[in-house]
Amino acid sequence: MYKPFITKRKTNVTLLAALLLMVGSSSAEKFDVQQEIKISSSRQAADLKNKIFSYIDNVIISQGTLTIHAELVQVISQAPNDDKIYIAKGSPATFAQTLQDGSPINLQANEIRYEPSKNIVVISGNALLRQEGSEVSGSKITYNFETEYVNAESLDNAKVETVLQPKNNGAAKPKDKQE
């Protein structure tokens, strides 16, 4: 008897276990959200009434160890707390941040949606997550920095691909012969 739900569920559990091994203890730097945000671009436009700010061409956003590069970034301010949502688009748009353990995380996709107040980044369209030499690729990847939860999906018959690198156990280097 064919049971596609069970097969898919086993695949998701296996993928989740692999991703948890890759992510380890790597929440984002908490001090980043308390630092100033710098945005540079070739052009800027603002819809003040709707609180949507657009940065166009050669966009670079930096805040602490976080850096976003894109062709277009829209920053949407939401009431009541003035929480911001950053939507970056590019071919690809990139997101890089140093995590608390000092390891870098690099994301790239056609679209990056970053919600700092929720500690979530969602990348979609040729999505790729790289960390400590390992990588996950798919149509859409959601990463929660606070809970360290990763969810990767692909469309139609495509597959999510994961490449895990072994941990460097600090193997001793061969010593030079002493005479």
pLDDT tens digits for range 57-69: 999 999 999 999 9
Read off the pTM.
0.77
Assigned domain for 179 exists: no
Assigned domain for 151 exists: yes
CB burial class (10 A; 0-12, 13-18, 19+) of residue 61?
Answer: buried
Q: Rounded to 5 degrees, what angle do the CA atoms 30, 33, 36 make?
A: 135
State the Cα torsion 86-87-93-99 to the nearest 10°.
30
Q: How far apart are CA 18 and CA 20, in angstroms?
A: 5
Domain that holds residue 15: 4-163
Query: From residue 152, how far is each of 57, 125, 137, 162 by CA, in Å?
Result: 29, 12, 8, 10
CATH number at residue 111: 2.60.450.10
Count of domains forming the chain: 1
pLDDT at 135 over 60: yes
Assigned domain for 60 exists: yes
Q: How far apart are CA 3 and CA 144, in angstroms?
A: 31
Residue of higher predicted confidence among 172 and 13: 172
Assigned domain for 177 exists: no
Q: Average pLDDT for residues 125-141, to the nearest whole number?
A: 95
pLDDT at 141 over 90: yes
How much is the pLDDT for 132? Answer: 87
Coil, strand or helix at 38: strand
DSSP letter at 127 equals E
